Amino acid sequence: MIKNLLYLTLTIVIATCLVIFQETMSNMTWLLSVDMPVTFSVFFGSYFSNLVLMNGGGAVPMVALIAIGMLAAFLIAKILLIWVSLSKPLAYGLAGAAALLAIVLLMPLAFYNLDVLAGGRSILGKIILTLYGFLSGYFFGTTLEKRGHNDQTT
């Protein structure tokens, strides 16, 4: 059970880091499009700054938002696995994808139709963020399947 909590926490951290990576990439791409000089040091400095500020500088830390979405989606996946014959990695991967897609699609409703995540403003950005959710959830499902236990944490 403690290992499940550890892997769940690691999954949420991975998803958060990937979402912030996409956010930073999107911002740097825009800066390049307006002929601003962007170097690797600027990118990495911005990325690590975003990691800190997006998880501690606002009203709702990104890690908390992703944790709420992932926990809800993983709980639904656990319940559905009772009735649906599907591998755990695939089930939790789809749940992670659904969680991040829901976050990206529902955030504008909370902020007067404004896309807060720059990385999710385009269709390609939404697809990439959904893929990151799938990869994070797939990682969690793989850890459950490798140990051969039922996940009692979600």
Q: Taking 80 as the threshold, does the pLDDT of residue 50 lie above it?
A: yes
pLDDT score of 151 more than 50? no
**Long-range contacts at 103-110 (CB < 8 A, ≥ 24 apart):** 103/65, 103/66, 103/69, 104/129, 104/130
Report domain extents, the chain. 2-147
Backbone angles phi, psi at 22, to 5 degrees: -65, -40
DSSP-derived secondary structure for 77-94: HHHHHHHS---HHHHHHH
Q: Is residue 67 over pLDDT 90?
A: yes
Q: What is the pTM of this model?
A: 0.87
Lowest-confidence segment of 61-65, 92-96, 138-142 by average pLDDT: 61-65
Report whether pLDDT(136) > 70: yes
